[in-house]
Structures are given as structure tokens and as C-alpha cells.
Amino acid sequence: MLKVSGLTTEFRGRGRTVRAVRDISLEVPGGTAVGVVGETGSGKSVTIRSVLGLLPSYGRVVAGRAEFEGLDLITATRKQLRQVRGGRIGFVAQNPFGSLNPVLSIEKQFANVVRAHRKMSRSDIRDLALARLESVQVRGSERVLRGYAHELSGGMAQRVVIALAMVHDPPLVIADEPTTALDVTVQRQILDLIQAQVSAGNRSLLLVTHDLGVVAQYCQEVVVMKSGQVVESGPVARVFGEPAHDYTRQLLAAVPPAPWESARAAREEVTGA
């Protein structure tokens, strides 16, 4: 579905060049969820943004390929990339309020996403938008369509972003830390929702997260990144069960125990059991 090979990205500014990611290779097979994990600054977002052609003007992919449906996204024209983004790849970013336009109604934003890819009447767009909003369990979808982003809670706004990302039935969904900006109580709901959308459409998912628990629960494959490079990758059960790299072991050791496990450990310490 997506095959990234040898991806290297640099940021240039004031006579200084920073190589943010180096020689990244990863694959997202059809119908598979792949998690990308690594500490802050390890290059997860830069990798995604390089693939989607969403780097800032001073960022440049200096080597590598990202093959998707017969197209190399790295050398694709802007027009081709616009067709792929939103059409063939649904993108869910970290902050829903950064993804939504604050001055356009939600209905107008659906219309813009639809019309960027095909011709459709206003009433058909409306029906499609309502169906998509209902599929991500947005209650009061008619009211939401008439409204604006600032009237929504973070969780609701991210549901709208997911609905927009799914408008054209993309076979691949890329989500970059889709719950980091949200209240902890809705984080799982949003991940469950993304998973439901992915499996209902037999789509592939590339999910960036720093939470290994999320990868274990939602992904079949994992790519571990450190300092702009991939340190290891493979099926989640193998990489987490028998990590080949010391860094992966450190990440796994840093996962806090579930609250009930800490409570049991404390009890055992007190009782000596």
C-alpha cells in the first residue's frame, strides 16, 4: 500500500542544515495497521509530513522514495499530491482545531474537501457529510454542519476531522498522534473510532504515537524510531516480545505499569506476599 525507502529530510536555515530523518524505510501493507513509535524529536512527524508533501518551505526531502498506488509521492507534482491527500490518503493530525478552518462552517469545509476531488451537488454533499458524521457518532449532525469549529469540544472536533478524512473512502489513513491534544477521557474513544473506520473499509493505517500500549492494542506492525532513524521494525508481537534493539527494550521498560498492577505490587510489598 505504502512503501517508504531511504527517506532523508533536511531543514535549512541561516547557514545551518539539520538532517531531521535519515534513511527511513517502512512499509504499510494493505489492510494492516502500522504504528510508528519513538521519543519526542525522533522524527515521526517529519517522516509523515515528508511522505504527504506537508513540510514547511525550508524543509526538503533530499533522498528516498515513498511509493503509493504507482506514484512516488516525493517526486509527485503538487497537483498529484493534492489528489492523493484527502482523496486516496486520509490524514488526521494532532490538533483538530489546527486542521479545521475557523472561519468556514463545517458544511462548507465538507463541500471544499468533496469538490477538490469530484463534482457533486450541494444537497448530495450535505447527505454525504451527514452520513460521514453519523458514522463517527457525531450526535446532532445537522447542527454540527451549520456550526463552526470553535463551537465543538476537542473530541467532537477530532471526530469531524476523521469524518472529513473519510469523505472519499481512502484506502490508507495516516494519523499523527491523533489524541495527544485531547482530554484523556476521549482519547480511547477516538482511537476506537479510527480503528472502526479502518476495519470497516478494510483500509490500512499508519499511526504515529509515543504510546506503546496504543500500538500493542491497535496495530499489527511497529516501526521504532530514534534520533531520526529506524532502529527496528516488524510484527508487534515479535518486536515487543523479543526486542532486538536496546532502545526498544528501554522504551518498553519505561511503560508505566497499569494502575491495578502498581496497586497489586504495593499490596504485595506490604503483606510480603
Ligand X SMILES: Nc1ncnc2c1ncn2[C@@H]1O[C@H](COP(=O)(O)OP(=O)(O)OP(=O)(O)O)[C@@H](O)[C@H]1O
Task: Kindly list the residues in this chain that would bind ligand X in the complex (CB under 6 A).
Answer: 11, 18, 20, 38, 40-46, 56, 210
Residue 227 burial (10 A CB sphere; 0-12, 13-18, 19+): middle
Helix axes 154-165, 106-115, angle to 10 degrees: 20
CA angle 105, 86, 23 (to 5 degrees): 135
Minimum CB distance to ligand X smaller for 129 or for 215 = 215
What is the CB neighbour count within 10 angstroms for residue 197?
A: 22
Minimum CB distance to ligand X smaller for 55 or for 116 = 55
Question: From the CB of 9, what's the least distance to ligand X, in Å?
Answer: 8
Question: From the CB of 196, what's the least distance to ligand X, in Å?
Answer: 25
If you search the block for the grid coordinates 472519499, which residue do you land on?
168
Question: In 111-199, which ranges are E strands?
Answer: 172-176
Nearest to 50 by CA among 33, 32, 26: 26
Minimum CB distance to ligand X smaller for 45 or for 187 = 45
Minimum CB distance to ligand X smaller for 60 or for 88 = 60
Question: From the CB of 227, what's the least distance to ligand X, in Å?
Answer: 8
Question: From the CB of 99, what's the least distance to ligand X, in Å?
Answer: 16
Length of the chain: 273
Question: From the CB of 56, what's the least distance to ligand X, in Å?
Answer: 5
Minimum CB distance to ligand X smaller for 42 or for 109 = 42
